[in-house]
Amino acid sequence: MLSVKLFWFKKWEEMPAAIYLGHLNPMTKAHEDVISFLQKEYNLYVFPVRFLKGNAEINTRSFPFPYKIRKAMIESVLNSNDNVKILPDYAFLSPFIKYLPPIVSPYSWMLRNQIVKNIQEETFIAYTGDRIERLALKIYRLHPIKAKRLKISSSAVKNMLYHQVIQGRQGEAHWQDKVPEKVVDQIIDNWEIVEKFAKSPDLTFKTMGIKFPKDGFI
């Protein structure tokens, strides 16, 4: 069971809501644990992040799997989807520079409101295990709860995937142990995506704590 300090609220007639913002690229067993826990306690809204240029999603070595595949990854591990919604509204629209600086930019608040408009419940919290991100969510009035950082990161899994492509059989890693079984199948079914980005430069950069694709930034 995850160690979580629950958000303060009185007993409501219906379950409160939880917002889970993330890359989930790819989904790991740590993500599965978080979703499983939140699903039991809250009506859950999961928002996998997207970067859009026009109508096209931008994927890079850091963000290889598109929203459609990540949504399928999440759906594959749900016990039930009665109280879980996976939504595309955590979407940065090109040029991404307009969202900077965070908090100050009106476009960052528009993105916040774009997310919150989906929440039907009167009471909601947001989940994150990152201290800096928790502070930002608090400023955005998303009521973050205190939680531990994920033990298994998507970045570590991606590195294992790319290493296996580059090194061949000698580079085989135990990434399968770090993702849910059904997600293993989806990664294998979309292995061409792993091969494509394993051999590509990472066309992303981090600024002000946020990682953006270079394409579409300006």
At a CB cut-off of 8 Å and minimum separation 6, what does 198 contact? 61, 161, 162, 165, 166
CA distance 177 to 118: 34
Q: 108 near 142, Cβ under 8 Å?
A: no
Pairing of strands 4-5, 144-147: antiparallel
CA angle in degrees (0–180, nearest 5) for 142-143-144? 100
CA distance 156 to 69: 19
Query: How confident is the prediction along the chain (218 residues), in pLDDT tens digits per residue?
Result: 343 334 333 333 478 999 999 999 999 999 999 999 999 999 999 999 999 999 999 999 999 999 999 999 999 998 777 799 999 999 999 999 999 999 999 999 999 999 999 999 999 999 998 888 999 999 999 999 988 888 889 999 999 999 999 987 655 668 999 999 999 999 999 999 999 999 999 999 999 889 999 999 99
DSSP the chain: ---EEPPP----SS--EEEEEE--SS--HHHHHHHHHHHHHSEEEEEE-EEEETTEEP--SSS-S-HHHHHHHHHHH-S-STTEEE-S--EEESSGGGG-STTTSHHHHHHHHHHHTT--SS-EEEEES-HHHHHHHHHTT--EEEEPPPSS-HHHHHHHHHHHHHHGGGG---GGGGS-HHHHHHHHHTHHHHHHHHTS---EEEETTEEEESTT--
Within 10 Å of residue 116's Cβ, how many Cβ atoms? 17
**Structural domains of the chain, with CATH:** 15-213 (3.40.50.620)
